[in-house]
Amino acid sequence: MGALKIGVMGAGRGLGLAGNFLLQGCTLTAVCDNRPDRLQNAKNRYGEGIVYCDSFEKFIEQDMDAVILANFFHEHAPYAVECLKRGIHVFSECISNGTMAEGVTLVRAAEKSSAVYFLAENYPQMLFNIEMKRVVDGGTLGKILFAEGEYNHPVAPDDTSFLKTYNYFEKHWRHYLPRSYYITHSLGPVMHITGATPRRVTAFPIFSPLSAEAVTASHVGDAATAILTQNDDGSVFRVFGCARFGAHENSYRICGTNGQIENVRGCGNQVLLRYNGWQVPEGMKDCQQYEPNWHDRDEELIRSSGHGGGDFITARMFLDCIRSGELPEHPFNVYAATAMSSVAILAHRSVMNGGGTYDIPDFRSEASRKSWENDRESPFYLEDGTAPTIPCCSHPDYRPTPAQLERYRSVMTDGLNTEKEVL
Domain ranges of the chain: 129-296+334-370
Grouping H, G, I as helix, E, B as strand and the rest as coil, residue 226 is strand
CB atoms within 10 A of CB 331: 25
The mean pLDDT value for 61-69 works out to: 98
pLDDT tens sequence across 298-324: 999 999 887 888 999 999 999 999 999
Number of Cβ within a 10 Å radius of residue 88: 21
Q: What is the pLDDT of residue 2?
A: 78
Name the band, by pLDDT with cuts 50, 70 and 90, for residue 22.
Answer: very high
Question: What is the reported pTM?
Answer: 0.95
For the beta carbon of residue 71, count every other beta carbon within 10 angstroms. Answer: 26
- pLDDT value of residue 305: 86
Given a cut of 80, is residue 422 above it in pLDDT? Answer: no
Q: What is the pLDDT of residue 417?
A: 55
Q: State the Cα–Cα distance between residues 113 and 134, nearest whole angstrom.
A: 33
Q: Which helix (H) or strand (E) holds 92?
A: strand 89-93
CATH domain 129-296+334-370 topology: Dihydrodipicolinate Reductase; domain 2 (3.30.360)
